[in-house]
Amino acid sequence: MSIKIGNLTMKSRVYVPPMAGVTDIVFRGIMREIDPHCLLATEMVSSRALMHKPDSRIMDLSPGEDPIAIQVFGHEPDVMAKAAQMAEAKGANWVDINMGCPVPKITKGKDGCALMREPELAREIVRTVKDAVSIPVTVKFRLGWDDKSRNAVEFGTMLEEAGASAVTVHGRTRAQLYSGKADWGFIRQVKRALTIPVFGNGDVFEPEDAARLLEETGCDGVAVARGTLGNPWLISRISKYLETGSISEAPADTERLICAYKHAIGLAKYKGLRIGINESRRHLTHYTKGISGAAPFRARLTQINSADELETILAELANKVGGTKGEEIFRTAVDQMRLQDTNLENQLVSMAK
């Protein structure tokens, strides 16, 4: 199951690439508890913004967090190189360059997937960043800007020649955003053209999906993004399936609710009550998706303003899906979290006021 990225040997072939507003230090901490070896990356951080605010919390890493990539985006080679040096100083094992983000506010500034329309500039960025750091440099990109300009094969070949140690290819064009179906066949063409490791990305929501992607594309690893939303267990289930051929059962509904609570409280602690609770609403929606009868509870969770509301609603939902026993399991887990972290208890008390 190992994979080499430059001079690094990774113990896993399963990678959770950057997701804005998702792959922060709290999310990654939960992922690490479930699968210590999974490959993770921070949210993408603007290289230009780092020049004005070098202490950006997006690059915060937990003590000993490893393996970890910090992803930067931008279109100015020298600025990107400085940002990469800052990422290396922060403790990143490798630096990832975003050339795949399709969001208009990113691409209109020549960043993200817009660089696929300017391959010579993309080449210069990779070369400049590669020369500026001692850690491996990787790149995430798409099939192309649109169906008329699918240049992923040529683009990937150019990136390898420029010094990239690995690439992640999302099987959609920029025009598709996240709609339609990922084209694994085109990812296969990229893999066949390169000698560096290639991670295939797109439409992996179950362990069987990951295995099929690897088989159909010949990729060295699989990158799983949206499939992990509200489902951090997916990565360990994929790893086990790839190693043994057996599939672990999905977590019980009560376990999902306990993790949802932990995630939300972690965000409140790390980012402050207002921002943390606001950001947690999105995650809570994902954690409760697929739980029978959860719709009215989910609607309430999108309106929470305190830790008390969060605990009450999740406890009620635990009772609905597991009866008195389910609620007891949930509340016991919450009590244990408080006992393990006195600061958490103090935080909860202040939130309740």
- Delimit the domains of the chain by residue range: 3-244, 253-352
d(CA 210, CA 238): 7
CA distance 290 to 298: 11
Dihedral angle sign, alpha carbons of residues 158, 75, 166, 94:
positive
> Residue 41: in which H helix or E strand, if any?
strand 39-41
Give me the half-sphere count of Cα atoms (radius 13 Å) on the Cβ side of residue 326: 16
Could you tell me if 270 and 25 are in contact, meaning their C-beta atoms sit under 8 angstroms apart? yes
CATH topology of domain 3-244: TIM Barrel (3.20.20)
DSSP calls for 57-83: GGG---TT--SEEEEEE-S-HHHHHHH
pLDDT at site 346: 53
Residues of the chain with pLDDT under 50: 345, 347-353
Burial class of 127 by CB neighbour count within 10 A (0 to 12, 13 to 18, 19+) = middle
Report the distance separating Cα 39 and Cα 4, nearest Å: 12
Q: Are 151 and 180 in contact (CB under 8 A)?
A: no
Q: What is the DSSP letter of 3?
A: E
pLDDT at 345: 46
Separation between Cα atoms, residue 96 and residue 139, nearest integer Å? 5
Q: How many whole angstroms separate alpha carbon 107 and alpha carbon 314?
A: 39
Closest by CA to 220, choosing from 198, 241, 196, 202, is: 198
pLDDT at 55: 87
Helix-strand-coil percent breakdown of the chain, rounded to 5? 55, 10, 35
Predicted pLDDT of residue 344: 53
Q: What is the pLDDT of residue 341?
A: 75
At residue 43's C-alpha, the angle toward residues 221 and 141, to 5°, is 50
Q: Which of these is catalytic: 38, 101, 113, 259?
A: 101
259 counts as catalytic: no
The C-alpha atoms of residue 348 and residue 118 are separated, in whole angstroms, by 50
Q: Does residue 181 sit in helix, strand or coil?
A: coil
Q: Please name the residue that has the structure tokens 């999302």.
A: 170
Please answer whether residues 73 and 111 qualify as being in contact, where contact means their C-beta atoms are separated by less than 8 angstroms.
Answer: yes
CA–CA separation, 12 vs 146, rounded Å? 32
Residue-level pLDDT at 1: 66
User: What is the predicted pLDDT for the residue at 349?
Assistant: 43
